[in-house]
Amino acid sequence: MNSNFGHPSQPVFMVDSGRGHPKQHRYYHQQMPRHTEPPLVPCWTFPPARAEIKKRDQGRMYAGMAWVVTLLLLLVFAALGLGAYQILKLQFEVQHLSKKMEATQMPNIAPQKQVGLDSAELNRNTQKSAAHLIGHAYQSASSGIMKWEEKFSEAFTKGVKYINGGLQVNETGLYFVYSRVEFFSIKCNPTDYYVHKVCRQRNRHNQTIMEDHQEGLCKEHSKNAWMTGSHLGSVQQLQQSDLVFVNVSHPDLLSKNYHSNYFGLFKIQ
C-alpha cells in the first residue's frame, strides 16, 4: 500500500479472525509522521542585494547631481569674478583717461578781460564784400573801361568802391569775379568778331585776367540779324586797392538791355 507522506494516514479497524465480526472497535488515529522535505537554505542575500544596488544607484545619482550643482556654482562665481574684473578695469581706464585729459589742458587761473567789438566793426567783419553792376553799358573811348549803373534796380556795392566803371576792393582775399555782355547787329559779316575782357589794375599796371574771343558769327551774304553773348567768371586772388574793370572790342554793338549786361564780384574768403 502506497502512502502519501505528505498527508495523514486513513483510520485502521481491527477485526476478529474467528467470527468475522469486530471484537472490539478500536479506532486508531495514527498520525503518521509527515514526510519532511529537505530544509531549504534561506536566501538572505537576494533581497538585500537588490536594495544595496538600489542604494548604490541612488548614491551615485546624488553624487552626480552634487557635481553638477558644484560646477554651476563655480561657473556663476567665475562669471561674477570676470564681471567685477571688467568693471575695475573700466574704472581704471576712465581714471587714467581723466588724468591724461587734465594733464593736456592748461588751466588759466588768472582772470581774463573780455573785449567786445563795436557794432560797426562787427558788421564789417560779418558782411562779405560784394558788388553787382548792371545797365545800359557804355565804354569810354579814352580809358577803354565800360561804365555801369551802380544804384539802379538790382545794382549794389557793399565793401567795394565803384570808381569810373571799375570795382576797387578794400581788403585782400579770394574773390569770384564775373561779367556778361551781349552783342547785337542788324547786318552780319562773316569777318565780324568780338572780344570780351575782364582786367585788373594793380599799381597802375593793367593785366587781363579773363578773355573771350569769337568770330564767324554768320554766313557770307547773310541778311539776317545776329545776336550773341559772352560770359566770363573765375576765382581771383585780389589785393587791397586792386581795381577790376571790363573791356569790349565793339562797344557800339552792345545790347541796350539792362539785364543782358552785368558785372560784379564777391569775396569768398
Whole-prediction pTM: 0.53
Q: What is the pLDDT of residues 20-72, one digit of tens each?
A: 555 444 444 455 555 555 565 555 555 556 666 667 777 777 777 888 888 88
Q: What is the 3-state secondary structure (H, E, C) of the chain?
A: CCCCCCCCCCCECCCCCCCCCCCCCCCECCCCCCCCCCCCCCCCCHHHHHHHHHHHHHHHHHHHHHHHHHHHHHHHHHHHHHHHHHHHHHHHHHHHHHHHHHHHCCCCCCCCCCCCCCHHHHHHHHCCCEEEEEEEEEECCCCCCEEEECCCCCCEEECEEEECCEEEECCCEEEEEEEEEEEEECCCCCCCEEEEEEEEEECCEEEEEEEEEEECCCCCCCCCCEEEEEEEEEEEEECCCCEEEEEECCHHHECCCHHHCEEEEEECC
Which residues make Cβ contacts (< 8 Å) with residue 136, sequence separation at least 6?
149, 256, 258, 261
CATH code reported for the domain at 128-267 = 2.60.120.40
Return the C-alpha cell found at 79: 562669471
Question: Binning pLDDT at 50, 70 and 90, where does residue 139 land?
Answer: confident
The pLDDT > 70 percentage for the chain reads 68
Q: What is the pLDDT of residues 61-120, one digit of tens each?
A: 777 788 888 888 888 888 888 888 888 888 788 887 777 777 665 545 444 444 444 555
